[in-house]
Structure 1
Amino acid sequence: MALTEQIKRSWWVILSFIMMLNGFGFVYIGLKHYNKNWVLEGITYEIPWFFYFIFFARYGYPNAPVSAILTISFLLLLVSIVRSIWVAIKLGDVYDNNEKYTIQQTALNSHKEVQNNSNDSPAWACCLCIFGLIALYALVSLF
C-alpha cells in the first residue's frame, strides 16, 4: 500500500495525541468498521474530560476531585495514544492483506443468523452499570 493510502486510512490516530479529543478517533474508527468495542473505548476515553469540565466549573482547579479527574484523564490520554498506534498497525495489516481477511458469503450469512438469535441485553446492561457508577461517584464527590 502506498504511503498516501496509509496516511488517509490512519489520520484518526492524530486525534489521540490531542487532549480532550483522544477518544473521538476511536469513535470514528469504530463507526467506520462497525466495531462497538472501539466506540465504547472512545467514549471511555472522553468521560473523564467531561467530568473535568463539570468539576472545574464547580470547584476550581486546586481541589482534590478536579486533580483526581485530571490525573485519570492524562493517564487515559497516554493509554489512548499507545492503543491507537496499536490498532492502526493492526488495521494496516488488514488493509494490506485484504484477500487473507475476506469473509466467505456463507460464513457471513450464518453469522447473521446467530446474531439475530442472540440477545444483546448484557451489552446495554454493562454500559448502564458503568454510567450508574460514574453518576454515583459524581454525587458522592459533590457532598
Structure 2
Amino acid sequence: MNFADKIKKSWWVILSFVFFLNGTGFLYIGLKHNNRNWIIEGLAYEFPWFFYFILFAIYQMGIPSTLILSFASVLMIISIIRSFWVAIKLVDVYENNEKYAIKQTNLNHRAGTQEPNSNLGVTCCICLIFIFIVFAAMAIF
C-alpha cells in the first residue's frame, strides 16, 4: 500500500483535532468496520460536548460548564492519541490482509460459555461513561 492510500484510508483521524467532532471519527470507523467498541468509544468522546452545550445554555459560563469543557478537552487529547493508535493498527491490517483474514475454525466450546475477559472493552467504556456521569452530577450540584 502506497502513502497516498494510507492517507485516504486514515482521513477520519483529522476529525479528532476538531472541537465538538473528536468522537465522530471513531463513530465513522466503527460503523465502517462494524466494531461496536469503537462506536461506544466515539459516543464517549462526544458525550461531554453534548453536556457542555446543555450546561452552557443553562448557566452560560458558570462553573459547571467550565468543568465539563475542561473534561471534554482532556478527552479530546485522549481521542487524538487513540485515533493515531487505531489508524496505525488499521494500516497494518490493510497491508497484511492474509495475516488477519478470518479463517474457519472448529471450536469445541460449550454453548452459552464465554472466554474470560471477552467483554473487557465494553466494560471499560461503561465505566468511563459512569465516571463521566458522576463527574457531571458533581459539577451540577
Normalised by the shorter chain, which TM-score bucket?
0.7 to 0.9
Question: Residue 21 of structure 1 corresponds to which residue in structure 2?
Answer: 21
Q: Secondary structure at the match of 2:99?
A: coil
- The separation in 2 between residues aligned to 1:141 and 1:37, in whole angstroms, is 27
TM-score by length of 2: 0.79
Q: Which amino acid aligns with 1:80?
A: S
Q: Distance in 1 between matches of 2:136 and 2:18?
A: 25
**Deviation of the 1:117 alpha carbon:** 4.3
Cα distance in 2 for residues equivalent to 1:117 and 1:20: 41
> Aligned residue for 2:33?
33
**8 Å contact kept, 2:12–2:29:** yes
Tell me by how many angstroms 1:3 deviates.
1.8
Separation in 2, partners of 1:48, 1:33: 25
Give the Cα–Cα distance (whole angstroms) in 2 for the partners of residues 29 and 44 of structure 1.
15
Measured against aligned partners, the alpha-carbon deviations of 1:28-85 in whole angstroms (never above 9, x if no partner) come to: 1111111111111100000000000000010011x11011000001001100001000
Distance 1:141 1:69, change over 3 A: closer
AA of the residue aligned to 2:7: I
- Give the Cα separation in 1 of the matches to 2:42 and 2:11: 15
Q: One-letter code of the match for 2:99? A: K
The equivalent of 2:48 in structure 1 is 48
Q: Secondary structure at the match of 1:104?
A: coil
Q: Percent identity?
A: 54
Runs of 4+ in 1 over 6 A off after TM superposition: none
Q: Which residue of 1 aligns with 2:91?
A: 92
Instruction: Output the CA distance in 1 between the equivalents of 2:140 and 2:39.
Output: 29
The alignment status of 1:71 with 2:70, answered yes or no, reads: yes
* Structure 1 residues not aligned, in runs of 5+: none
Report if aligned partners of 2:26, 2:42 keep a CA contact under 8 Å in 1.
yes
Q: CA RMSD in A?
A: 3.1
Q: Which amino acid aligns with 2:94?
A: Y
Alpha-carbon distance between aligned partners in 1 of 2:135 and 2:77, rounded to the nearest angstrom:
23
Q: What TM-score, normalized by structure 1, do the two folds share?
A: 0.78
Contact conserved, 2:63 with 2:139, CA < 8 A, in 1?
A: no
Cα deviations by residue, 1:86-121 (Å, 9 ceiling, x for unpaired): 1000110111111111121336xx5xx98x8469xx
Structure 2: how far apart are the matches of 1:6 and 1:39? 22
- Corresponding residue number in structure 2 for 1:10: 10
User: How far did residue 137 of structure 1 move?
Assistant: 5.9
